[in-house]
Amino acid sequence: MFPLYDTIPSRRKPYVLYALIIVNFIVFFYELSLNSRELLSFFYHFGLVPARFTVSEVRNKLGFSLFPWISHMFIHGGWAHILGNMWFLWIFGDNVEDTMGHGKFLGFYILGGLFAALVNFIFAPFTTTPMVGASGAISAVMGAYFVLFPHSRIVTLVFFFIFFTLVEIPAFIYLFFWFIMQVFNGLISVALPISNVAWWAHAGGFVFGIWAGLRLRKRSYTYWTGKGYYYWW
């Protein structure tokens, strides 16, 4: 299944979302300019390496810096990685920014990415594999969308072997099963550490987004758009 778009219109231009996407692509194009050795060094110095904070040998080699807790959110490991992340941010981010406002959305995005990274750090504090990508922050956006727009529909491309069709899936159901898959894969990764995907960052970011979305919803009201409920300050 591949999500194409949601059915909730936004009332304001999501300028922060545009800026985030542009910055992510600028960093990615910089990565493409590096050779393999330079790129590996870039990942290790600006990606989040948990062992940098828990293993003295790694810390002595890389140096102590808190900047990777932020910079890792803007680094991606390939075209599929960045395109997938930016697509999900595009689908779910505009409505959340519309509801929060530009400045608060930016703060929420960064905090969501930090919380997601912290959760992943707790589950894998000694790994030397750099964690990179905006997935944790985007998962927070999806978590907020989950509670703010549960009656929205996600128009999804569903494949049946060589055939495909479009299906409108309620956002609550789509995102709920997405979250369950992150937790399921996270549990598997604990038992069988064969994947480099930061599943717990996804799950942690989503939980942070739910918390932030619930707090926001208490101070907002709703109106009917004709296609679903929409929350506004």
> CB burial class (10 A; 0-12, 13-18, 19+) of residue 60?
exposed
Buried b (16+ CB within 10 A) or exposed e, 118-139: bbbbebbeebebbbbbbbbbbb
pTM confidence score = 0.90
Domains of the chain from N-terminus onward: 2-232 (1.20.1540.10)
Distances (CA, A) of 201 to 122, 149, 216: 10, 22, 22
What is the pLDDT at residue 41?
A: 96
What is the pLDDT at residue 190?
A: 76
Contact criterion met (CB below 8 Å) for 136 and 113: yes
**Residue 82 neighbours by CB distance under 10 Å:** 22
Rg of the chain, C-alpha, whole Å:
18
What is the pLDDT at residue 11?
A: 87
Q: What is the distance between the alpha carbons of residues 35 and 79, in angstroms, rounded to a whole number? A: 16
The pLDDT tens digits along the chain (233 residues) read 789 999 988 888 999 999 999 999 999 999 999 999 999 999 999 999 999 999 999 999 999 999 999 999 999 999 999 999 999 999 999 999 999 999 999 999 999 999 999 999 999 999 999 999 999 999 999 999 999 999 999 999 888 777 888 999 999 999 999 999 999 998 888 777 667 788 999 999 999 999 999 998 876 655 444 444 444 44
What is the pLDDT at residue 194?
A: 66
